[in-house]
């Protein structure tokens, strides 16, 4: 019999990095540039600091006595009935958000690269590998992350190096031109996509990690490295494309990669650069999906989560096709519904968990 799967602290750090960079690497520069213009990078830097503070919150939820995985903690702290209701809601959140990310993959492929292929094909293909990954378990997922991480690092370094000739640093000026209000809003939005989502990492932290102490350090390290990588991408987008161009693009990083031109020979390699965000999106998707799967397992007290993986995977493909009828709907959703939606689950829920735990302990 296989013993319980454990991952190492280093593997966890790599997963944190890839997961946190996730979708934001592709879309966040546009959102920040449209809200805060050339000051978008300030929002990103502030977001990193807030992200570290949030990480502290999540770590303390993860290290509640017993060190249970996320869904067991919820049920333990909130009691059986309320716990189940919250878990059901969280499963819904995970599934919808996962479908939304998958929608982005399909949308990116059909609008930018292969216009005449039906979007269903892309979504099914991507969902298949996600289902495969979750089916094989967290240990395999962590090992594959170790194999793909060097590829990611190589690509981001190539991207950063090859666009440097086209940097116009004056595009960052004037600094702090935008109003305080839009800067705060930009920071909030950035936080919602960048660091709040790492709450879902509690499904493996710290219960599935063999050195929980080192994993705490790894959590902070991972968030910091991911934050710096995103900051780099945002600064590059603004300085190379300019804030207006960045804001107008749906996928500014892709537009950034199109700018690569080395001696009129190495050019238009944006599809190779796209591998970079396929890797990060893959891990983000895996964790959303894993969250939904584990939530269902806890909800119905299943011994083994694998039987629900395939049905849930089908559901998730179907959902990705209907979650946003078009891009306008998605940007509307991102602007108005997303921040309160995620804040409910990934900001207020941990606070409630900590609060209820403190009150119950006093009694």
Please give the residue ranges that form the binding site for other proteins (CB under 8 A).
1-2, 8, 10-11, 109, 113-114, 117, 121-122, 125-126, 128-129, 132-133, 136-137, 140-144, 146-148, 264-265, 267-269, 271-272, 274-275, 278, 282
Closest to other proteins by CB, 257 vs 339, is: 257
Residue 257 and residue 271: Cα distance in Å, rounded?
Answer: 8
Residue 58 and residue 63: Cα distance in Å, rounded?
Answer: 9
Closest to other proteins by CB, 143 vs 248, is: 143
Residue indicated by tokens 């690269």: 113
Closest to other proteins by CB, 11 vs 298, is: 11
What does DSSP assign to residue 174? Answer: S
Look at residue 7 and give its three-state secondary structure: strand
Contact 34, 27 (CB under 8 A): no
Residue 300 and residue 316: Cα distance in Å, rounded?
Answer: 19
As measured in angstroms, the least distance from the Cβ of 164 to other proteins is 21
As measured in angstroms, the least distance from the Cβ of 139 to other proteins is 8
Classify residue 175 by burial, with Cβ atoms within 10 Å: 0-12, 13-18, 19+: exposed
Closest to other proteins by CB, 117 vs 164, is: 117
Closest to other proteins by CB, 11 vs 246, is: 11
Closest to other proteins by CB, 1 vs 169, is: 1
As measured in angstroms, the least distance from the Cβ of 102 to other proteins is 13
As measured in angstroms, the least distance from the Cβ of 225 to other proteins is 16
Residue 29 and residue 34: Cα distance in Å, rounded?
Answer: 8
Token readout for 40 is: 């978008």
What does DSSP assign to residue 210? Answer: S
As measured in angstroms, the least distance from the Cβ of 214 to other proteins is 14
As measured in angstroms, the least distance from the Cβ of 332 to other proteins is 27
Closest to other proteins by CB, 146 vs 334, is: 146
Render the burial of 246-267: b for 16+ CB within 10 Å, e for the rest. bbebbbbbbbbbbbbeeeeeee
As measured in angstroms, the least distance from the Cβ of 254 to other proteins is 13
Give the CA diameter of the chain.
Answer: 72
As measured in angstroms, the least distance from the Cβ of 180 to other proteins is 42
**Chain centroid to CA 64: how far?**
24
* Residue 80: partners with Cβ closer than 8 Å, 6 or more residues away: none
Contact 75, 91 (CB under 8 A): no
Closest to other proteins by CB, 175 vs 271, is: 271
Contact 320, 99 (CB under 8 A): yes
């Amino acid at each position: 019999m296989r013993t319980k799967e454990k991952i190492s602290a280093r593997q966890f750090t790599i997963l944190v990095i890839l997961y946190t960079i996730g979708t934001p690497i592709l879309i966040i520069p546009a959102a920040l540039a449209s809200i805060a213009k050339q000051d978008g990078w300030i929002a990103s830097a502030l977001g990193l600091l807030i992200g570290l503070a949030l990480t502290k919150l999540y770590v303390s939820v993860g290290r509640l006595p017993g060190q249970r995985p996320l869904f067991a903690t919820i049920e333990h702290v909130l009691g059986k009935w309320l716990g189940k209701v919250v878990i059901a809601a969280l499963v819904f959140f995970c599934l919808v958000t996962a479908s939304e990310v998958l929608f982005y993959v399909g949308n990116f492929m059909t609008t930018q690269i292969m216009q005449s292929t039906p979007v269903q094909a892309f979504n099914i293909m991507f969902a298949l590998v996600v289902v495969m990954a979750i089916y094989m378990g967290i240990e395999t997922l962590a090992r594959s992350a170790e194999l793909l991480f060097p590829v990611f690092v190589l690509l981001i370094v190539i991207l950063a190096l090859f666009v440097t000739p086209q940097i116009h640093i004056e595009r960052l000026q004037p600094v702090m031109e935008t109003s305080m209000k839009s800067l705060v809003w930009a920071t909030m939005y950035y936080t919602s996509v960048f660091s709040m989502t790492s709450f879902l990492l509690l499904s493996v932290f710290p219960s599935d990690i063999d050195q929980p102490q080192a994993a705490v350090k790894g959590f902070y390290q991972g968030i910091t490295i991911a934050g710096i990588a995103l900051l780099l991408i945002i600064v590059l987008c603004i300085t190379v494309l300019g804030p207006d161009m960045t804001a107008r693009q749906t996928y500014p990083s892709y537009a950034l990669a199109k700018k690569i031109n080395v001696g009129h020979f190495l050019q238009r390699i944006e599809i190779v650069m796209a591998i970079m965000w396929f890797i990060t999106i893959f891990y983000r998707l895996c964790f959303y999906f894993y969250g939904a799967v584990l939530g269902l397992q806890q909800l119905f007290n299943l011994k083994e989560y694998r039987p629900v993986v395939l049905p849930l995977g089908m559901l998730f493909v179907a959902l990705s096709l209907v979650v946003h009828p078009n891009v306008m709907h998605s940007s509307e959703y991102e602007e108005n519904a997303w921040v309160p939606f995620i804040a409910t689950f990934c900001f207020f829920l941990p606070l409630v968990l900590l609060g209820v735990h403190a009150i119950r302990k006093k009694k």
